[in-house]
Structure 1
Amino acid sequence: MSHATVIAVSTDTDHRFSKPNRSSIRLLAGLGVEGDAHLGVTVQHLSRIAQDPAQPNLRQVHLIHAELFDELRAAGYAVTPGDLGENVTTRGIDLLGLPAGTRLRLGPEAVVEITGLRNPCRQIDRFRAGLLKQVIGRDESGAVVRKAGVMGIVLAPGTLRPGDPIAVELPAPPHRPLEKV
């Protein structure tokens, strides 16, 4: 996991599927990405607000590994950073293999704790037909595998830019696998 870096940062004030890339974003402790539609202590994803607007926001920051874009490109899908709505695009780190509670130091100041897996929805197929089948699969035992990144909460604030390093701090064992949030 050495040489893990931030490839791109993205944010959008509106609830749109894709987010434009920025030169930097500011993470705010307990809230998420400054100026992003998903900023808040309680849930901000529209489908979750409809279920229970008082739930805690465990999806303050969305991270996707650029290696997924490489895999999608090989399958014929042109997807670039920000296209799938993530705030932080990484390279050189197995985000999906991290245990729940892992802390990522992003750049010199920000710390994000991984809360779980992003649960991709049908909106992905509206973005590119057939893409949902590429980001949700099944393993050898038939269990669902979600590949569309991870979600986290901001523990320490900071400004984040492309090229910033990422350091990984695993939680104390026993490690819990990531589940959808």
Structure 2
Amino acid sequence: MSGSVVSIQLNVGHRAPMKSVESARMIENYGIEGDRHVISEGVRTKRQVLLTDEETLAKFGLSRGDIRENITLSSIDIHSLKEGDRVSLGGDAVVEITGHCAPCARMDEIREGLRVEIDGQRGMLATVISSGEVSVGDEVRALQPSVA
């Protein structure tokens, strides 16, 4: 399964608008450089990166960054991925899926009822397991799950 990166957004502050960028540095075990979730209260988190796909945004009539995703993908079914699956972004960066991102009350600020509508479809959370630069237009590939 493969697709491409169509947009990258950084969360630069609590309730601040997402900042759209052309490229970003993924940092192993920390997240995306410049994103406020790189370190959450000094503790590494499973919520380093939020991935979603354009198809989901279109289904709900949303624009890139509306649901606070960091990376928007095209031509890859993000919802078919499972916890532990790995995704290659660009040349070197690899993330590991940690689970679905539950919609928060902010979704209803976008549109009343969106929180319920988008439940289970907001996107997938991931941790960075291999550092690298990711740019809009880069290839995205689902990798074989790791075997313990």
Q: Is this a same-fold pair by TM over 0.5?
A: yes
2:142 aligns with: 168
1:29 aligns with: 28
Residue pair 1:101, 1:113 contacting (<8 A) in 2 also: yes
Instruction: Give deviations 1:103-145, integer Å, cap 9, x for gaps.
Output: 1110011110111100111111012222112202xxxxxxxxx
Residue pair 1:21, 1:81 contacting (<8 A) in 2 also: no
Residue pair 2:85, 2:146 contacting (<8 A) in 1 also: no
Unaligned runs of 5+ in 2: none
Asked if residue 122 in structure 1 is aligned to residue 116 in structure 2, the reply is no
| Aligned-partner SS, 2:60 | helix
- 1:18, CA displacement in angstroms? 4.6
Distance 1:65 1:112, change over 3 A: same
Distance 2:136 2:104 in 1: 27
Distance 1:62 1:151 in 2: 5
Greater share of residues in strand = 2
Distance 1:27 1:15 in 2: 20
One-letter identity of the residue aligned with 1:21:
S
One-letter identity of the residue aligned with 2:37:
H
One-letter identity of the residue aligned with 2:6:
I
Asked if residue 67 in structure 1 is aligned to residue 55 in structure 2, the reply is yes
Aligned pair count reads 147
Over aligned residues, Cα RMSD in angstroms? 1.7
The two structures have a TM-score, normalised by structure 1, of 0.75
Q: Pick the structure with greater CA Rg.
A: 1
